[in-house]
Amino acid sequence: MFTLVGDGISGWRADFVGGQSMVGYRLTDTVGGVVAEGAIDVDWVRVGGTERCGGPREADIELPS
């Protein structure tokens, strides 16, 4: 489950529960046609908490053009 916030111009932010190592994507146009789709490896980095207990993680993802 995730929340997606943003726009196609400045980018998007997605908050995932779990932090999967691979994320699938599908980009559609305004009438629902698929423009691009695929999967990408995600390199999560811990940004809080501790090594022992974990904490929130984030990753910058750039989709192929």
Closest by CA to 6, choosing from 38, 37, 14, is: 14
For the record, the structure tokens of 20 come out as 């999967």
DSSP label of 21: S
Number of domains in the chain: 1
Domain that holds residue 34: 20-58
- Quote the pLDDT of residue 21: 83
* Predicted local confidence at residue 2, as pLDDT: 64
Mean pLDDT by 10 residues, the chain (65 residues): 72 73 85 91 87 85 79
Instruction: Tell me, yes or no, if the pTM score tops 0.75.
Output: no
Residue 33: predicted pLDDT: 93
The predicted pLDDT at position 28 comes to 86
The answer to the question of residue 12 being in a domain is no
Measure Cα distances from 46 to 3, 5, 18, 21, 30 in Å: 19, 21, 13, 13, 35
52: in domain: yes
